[in-house]
Amino acid sequence: MFIECVDARANEGGMNERLTELETRVTFQEQTLQELNDVVTRQQTQIERLTKEVTTLKSSLAGLAPAAVIPMEEEKPPPHY
């Protein structure tokens, strides 16, 4: 009977250690998950900002320089024709 009680307490101590270890791991995982979420949120904001900048730059470039190639209907025949 005494041996069973000692074994149960030893087993309980091991279980408490395992439980503490698991709780610690979960805490670190939650912290890591939050940090990753913050990074993803920042990156999404950057992507949206950069997309707007690219759109603005495209519009600016399109307005600055005329097209280097004219449409076929406006193309004149070569002089030797």
Range scoring the smallest mean pLDDT among 25-39, 44-58, 65-79: 65-79
| SS3 track for the chain | CHHHHHHHHHHHHHHHHHHHHHHHHHHHHHHHHHHHHHHHHHHHHHHHHHHHHHHHHHHHHHHHCCCCCCCHHHCCCCCCC
* Residue of higher predicted confidence among 77 and 28: 28
What are the tens digits of pLDDT across the range 8-34?
566 777 899 999 999 999 999 999 999
Judge whether residue 3 has pLDDT over 60.
no
Its pTM stands at 0.56
Of 10-14, 46-50, 54-58, 73-77, highest mean pLDDT: 46-50
Tokens standing for 39? 């990074």
